[in-house]
Amino acid sequence: MGVVEGVGRRKLRVVLLVDDDEVCIRAWRRDISRYFSLRIRVLDALDGSTALLRAKTETPDLAIVDQHLRDGLGTDLLPRLRACAPSMWTVLTSADPTHDDARRAGPATIAVLPKPKSWSPLFHAIEAGDDLRLLPQQPAISSVEAIVNTHILRVLRSHGDNIALTAEVLSVDRRGLQRKLKKLGIVVDRTKTNVDDDDS
């Protein structure tokens, strides 16, 4: 799972959500609005035909496509979407993605992920340029939680393992970040935490 090797980071302005589950679409729209305000414009499509029209007329930066649509499979739709907007990145999602789905999605798909409650961690990781590489010709299946963990570790290492500074950059609670790192088995020098021992 991750960004295709050599692509780097991308600033997201327009995102296309393709899913025939209107409840998911509404929930994802609310989540994106909450974390990105009006900076990211969200388009949606309940079927492949509408998605193709959106891709042709709006040129999204990223399309997130469900595997099981009312008018076909997401893996069949992906190359047609990329033909409409060659610069667009694509993500395949499903309630229970298989390795066959990942294989059919192809190396141009940056991620194959189970449906999450929130896409915001993926957007943050893409914009940060996190190095989450795909295996050649065989995208691996991961999770949004894995993206979050990778993003946290990248920020932590880039700030000299300073938990207080990392928490400030990520806009999270320092104690919560300490607990998260402990759960992941990450040991950090206590002198860099700026948190008292009784807070852990």
Give the separation between CA 95 and CA 90, rounded to whole angstroms. Answer: 17
pLDDT at 37: 75
Give the rounded percent of residues in the chain with a pLDDT score beyond 90: 28
Residue 189 — pLDDT band, cuts 50, 70, 90?
low
Cβ 17 vs Cβ 44: under 8 Å: yes
pLDDT at 8: 55
Residue 4 — pLDDT band, cuts 50, 70, 90?
very low
Residue 45 — pLDDT band, cuts 50, 70, 90?
very high
Q: Would the pLDDT of 139 be above 90?
A: no
**58 CB-contact burial (10 Å; exposed 0-12 / middle 13-18 / buried 19+):** middle
**What residues form DSSP beta bridges with 42?**
15
What domains, with CATH codes, occur in the chain? 14-136 (3.40.50.2300), 159-199 (no CATH)
Cβ neighbours for 197, distance < 8 A, ≥ 6 positions apart:
190
Residue 60 — pLDDT band, cuts 50, 70, 90?
very high
DSSP state of 91: E
pLDDT by residue (tens digit) across 93-116? Answer: 988 888 888 888 887 788 888 888
pLDDT by residue (tens digit) across 27-37? Answer: 988 888 887 87
User: 1 versus 181: which is more confidently predicted?
Assistant: 181
Residue 175 — pLDDT band, cuts 50, 70, 90?
confident
Q: In which residue are the tokens 């997130």 written?
A: 64
Mean pLDDT of the chain: 78
Residue 147 — pLDDT band, cuts 50, 70, 90?
low
Report yes or no on whether pTM surpasses 0.75. Answer: no
